[in-house]
Every structure is written in structure tokens, then in C-alpha cells.
Amino acid sequence: MRVDSLNGKKMDMKSILESSYLNYIIRLIMGIVFIYASYSKILDPIAFSSNIHNFGVTPLYIENLIAIVLPWLELFIGIGLISGIKYHASIEISIYLMWAFIILILQAYLRGKSIDCGCFMTDISPSDAAEKRFDMLKRIFEDIIFLIMLYKLKYDANNKKTH
Amino acid sequence: MNNNIKDIFLIILGSLLFGVCRVLLLEDISFIKQAPKSISDNELVNMQFDAPKVVTISQCKQMFDQKSAFFIDARDSLLYDEGHILGAINIHFESNDDDQILSRLEGVKENDFLIIYCSGGDCDLSEELGNHLFEYLGYRNILLYEGGFPEWKENGYEINFRK
């Protein structure tokens, strides 16, 4: 497959995947996603705390710890991914978080719960239970895409192709 | 690799620090959740609790026999129709707004004992409804029966169902 590159030269898919431009775009996307996700949680920890509670998997003291730490963690790794400060650590934490989100939403889905995931709290959440469950599936799919993007960043960072 | 772990630790520590500062700056720290506490038989005569309390099945049965409490079924109407504690009022929190809740509680005074239950196990509908009634609608004597309808039914106590 051949695609026109930005500077007019012909590039094939392999070189696009290896290009550092793609990595910068992924870093920007993931950075914005994390910063956007953290924003409303920092502003309204009470609503976020209720969302964690709905998952019904963690004891209360863990729920409280997550409500306190997670919003800032998302903000810092978002900044880290975009700016390159503590880049490797930011990628590692993002990957752990993404796995945790996928497992959390999936277990809630399989247990028949219909809840707001609290991923992006500024979203207008569907009120209907069936719509909520469909929304949970969409979130899982979305997180898997994010995870693939993050693994690409990790692979390239380990091979010192970028950064 | 060691540097990476150090950085991960640093980011998490930083998030914790900022999170704690955020909590200290907040006036409303109600998002720090506490598990509802059990109540002794002696305390059951006291009015005006500081938070919803947890009651055992024997305490429930005693209040049921003495008709000293209103029972509220927090499950959805389908489950309620299949069977509920005799005389229980059905209030499904998610599908009722405050006006509907208050209309169902017509005749119930703010100082009356309200025993709220759902399906037991990890069902938290009763806790959600109890917290809402306590915090926003002014009911001061909220009791949560965590065993819920399954435990009540297993014990062969009085139930009712709609055909």
C-alpha cells in the first residue's frame, strides 16, 4: 500500500508506521485523552467517587485512594506523554491503567451491571440501562484501541526510534 | 529499567501529594466514603442518626412485628412484583425523581424509621437510596437491611407478591 507523505515523497505503510510523526500524533492524542479525562475528575471528585463505587469491586479505602490519586495521575501522564518529561514511565503507567480500565468495565459488564464508567465525566450519560451497557462495550473497544497505540509507543521507545 | 521504576514511583507519589492537597482544599469531603455502621438494639430507640445504619435480620423482624418501621424495597418494579416484604413500599432510585419518591413516602414522617433493602449480596441500591433520602430529602432514621429480600424469604418471614 502506498500513501503520499506530508513532504510529497512516496512512502509505504511500513515507513509510515516507523516514522516518528506517527508517534508524535499518538502521543498527542493519548496525552489529550488523559488530560481531558482528568479535568472533570479533579473538578468534581465527589461524582467520580460515586462512579468508582458503582463498580463494586474494591473495598472503601481503595475506592477513596483511587478517587484521590487517579485524576492527578491521569493529568501527569497526559503531560508526560505530550512533553516527553518522564516519557517512559508515563507510557508504562498508561498501559497499566488501560488494562485496569478494560478489566474493570468488562467484569462489570459480565456481571450484568449497567453503570456509567466515569471515564470522561463531562459526557452526557445515557439514562436507559440497555444504552448504558452498549456504552460500556464502546468504552472497552475504545480502550483496546488506546492500548494498541500505547504499546506501539512503548515498542518504539524501547528501540530508541523516537525520543 | 531501574530509572523507569523510580520515575513511575515518583509520578504516583506526586499524584498522591496533589490529590491530598486537593482534598484539604475542598470544603465538601463527602466523597471520602465510609461503610455504614451496624447499630445495637439499645441505639434503635434513639432518633436522629448521624448517618444511615445497618440492621440485622432479627432487628428487622422485631420492628416488622412491632410495626415500628416502614419497609422500602429499592429494587426495580419487576422484582418487587415477583415478591417483597409484606407492606414494603417500592422505590427504585434510578427510575424515580425526588417528587415521585416523596409522593410514594406520603404519610411517612421524617423521624419515622425507614428500613431499606434490595437483593442482598453486592446489591447497593438500598445504600444509594438510603444516602439520598438521608442527605437530600431530610429523613433522619434510615436503616439498611443488607441481607435483603433473599434472606428474609429464606427465613420464611412474611412476604407478598403482585400477580
User: CB distance from A5 to chain B under 8 Å?
Assistant: no
Q: In sequence order, what are the residues at sequence separation of 6 or more whose Cβ sits closer than 8 angstroms to the Cβ of residue B86?
A: B64, B158, B159, B160
CA A88, A90, A94 angle in degrees (round to 5)?
120
CA A32, A38, A43 angle in degrees (round to 5)?
130
- Distance, in angstroms, between B31 CA and closest chain A CA? 4
pLDDT in the model for residue A16? 62
pLDDT in the model for residue B14? 95
What is the per-residue pLDDT across A42-98, written as a single tens digit (0 to 9) for each? 887 777 877 787 776 777 778 888 888 999 999 999 999 999 999 999 999 999 999
Nearest CA in chain A to B94: A127
Candidates A63, A86, A125: best to mutate against B (most CBs of B within 10 A) is A86
Q: Give the count of beta carbons closer than 10 Å to the beta carbon of residue A119.
A: 17
Nearest CB to B124: which of A56, A76, A93? A56
User: CB distance from A49 to chain B under 8 Å?
Assistant: yes
User: CB distance from B10 to chain A under 8 Å?
Assistant: yes
Nearest CA in chain B to A48: B31
Q: Where are the beta strands (DSSP E) in chain B?
A: 53-55, 69-73, 84-85, 89-90, 113-117, 141-145, 159-160
Least confident of A11-20, A151-160, B103-112, B148-157: A11-20
Which parts of chain A fold into alpha helices (H)?
Answer: 13-18, 20-43, 45-55, 60-83, 87-110, 129-158
pTM over 0.80: no
pLDDT in the model for residue A122? 55
In sign, the C-alpha dihedral spanning B103, B104, B110, B116 is: negative
Contacts of B4 in chain A (CB under 8 A): 88-89, 92
Looking at chain B, how many residues does it have? Answer: 163
User: CB distance from B121 to chain A under 8 Å?
Assistant: no
Helix axes A129-158, A87-110, angle to 10 degrees: 150
User: CB distance from A85 to chain B under 8 Å?
Assistant: no
Least confident of A32-36, A73-77, B8-12, B33-37: B33-37
| % of residues, chain A, pLDDT over 70 | 77
> Could you report how far apart the first and last alpha carbons of chain A are, in Å?
27
Calpha distance A18→A8 (Å, rounded): 17
Calpha distance A108→A102 (Å, rounded): 10
- Distance, in angstroms, between B109 CA and closest chain A CA? 28
Calpha distance A130→A115 (Å, rounded): 10
